[in-house]
Amino acid sequence: MKLLILGGTTEAARLARALVGSGLDVITSLAGRTDNAPVLPGTMRVGGFGGVEGLAEYLTAHAIDRVIDATHPFAARISAHAAQACTQSGVPRLMLVRPAWHKQEGDDWVEVADMDQAAGMVADLGRRAFLTVGIGEVAAFAGSPVWFLVRLIADQTLPLADYRVITGKGPFDAQAEQQVMRAHDIDLLVTKASGGAATYGKIAAARELGLRVLMVQRPVLPEGEQVNTVEAGMAWLQKR
């Protein structure tokens, strides 16, 4: 069996390691920023496919038997393209979707549909915000009067009026996140509903500090089979 994993997540990397170890021919495709991507067993491919038609042609040309879409929950365009390309090519597709976070007692979340809505509300909710939405989404907040703390892997200039960049690579635990928030007098956390354990520390820290969280909800995924764990993804393949 020849498998294409649309990757870029911790779950995709775990799946690739497990499947190559079981003897499958695995190609992991990465798009976007890949400077800090892990080296994975099997074949690694970097770059886009050229839209739906390009991906459909790739599936046919490389005789791909199965596709597992293990991209980030906010990679809506890639997931939509994968759904259409697999339908055109007749290749079975599975979505490995990271479990979402759920509110707990003490959480104070303001949930919004998209980044533009979050940017429009941030000044009404806080004055010093910890902005953790990813470098590609920062520009949405360019016109805000709020002071932002932005954590990046590497320092760079941002299109924000008033901000500070701190650098680091997770995972970050709740205690460390509390220290960051206290040190910078943060009164609002702005984040995406990415889910997973690696970035949950900031959610737990905000709860402990009694801070409000401006939470951007996930985009709607295309129709298709879904699982939430690497083990369930492997079971799906074994059935086929």
- The pTM score is 0.89
Instruction: Please check the confidence at residue 140 and state whether its pLDDT lies above 90.
Output: yes
Share of residues in the chain with pLDDT > 90 (%): 85
Measure the CA–CA gap between 118 and 108, rounded to whole angstroms.
15
- With 0-12 / 13-18 / 19 or more C-beta atoms within 10 angstroms meaning exposed / middle / buried, residue 159 is exposed
pLDDT at 33: 62
For the chain, the average pLDDT equals 94
Range(s) within the chain of domains with CATH label 3.40.50.150: 109-216
Residue 240's pLDDT band, with cuts at 50, 70 and 90, is: confident
Q: Kind of pairing, strands 43-46 and 66-69?
A: unpaired
pLDDT at 231: 96
Measure the CA–CA gap between 162 and 45, rounded to whole angstroms.
38
Measure the CA–CA gap between 78 and 162, rounded to whole angstroms.
33
- With 0-12 / 13-18 / 19 or more C-beta atoms within 10 angstroms meaning exposed / middle / buried, residue 130 is buried
Report the b/e string of 187-223 with b at 16+ CB within 10 A.
bbbbbbbbbbeebbbbbbbbbeeebbbbbbbbeebbe
pLDDT at 74: 94
Residue 38's pLDDT band, with cuts at 50, 70 and 90, is: confident
Supply 47's token pair: 């770059």
Q: Give domain 2-99+220-239's CATH number out of 2.60.120.200, 3.60.40.10, 3.40.50.720, 3.40.50.11190.
A: 3.40.50.11190
DSSP state of 157: -
Give the tens place of pLDDT for each residue, 148-205: 999 998 889 999 999 999 998 878 999 999 999 999 999 999 999 999 888 999 999 9
Range(s) within the chain of domains with CATH label 3.40.50.11190: 2-99+220-239
pLDDT at 21: 84
Task: Could you please state the CATH topology (level 3) that the domain comprising 109-216 is classified under.
Answer: Rossmann fold (3.40.50)
pLDDT at 81: 97
pLDDT at 153: 86
Instruction: Please check the confidence at residue 34 and state whether its pLDDT lies above 80.
Output: no
Give the tens place of pLDDT for each residue, 40-90: 889 999 999 999 999 999 999 999 999 999 999 999 999 999 999 999 999
Supply 48's token pair: 């886009």
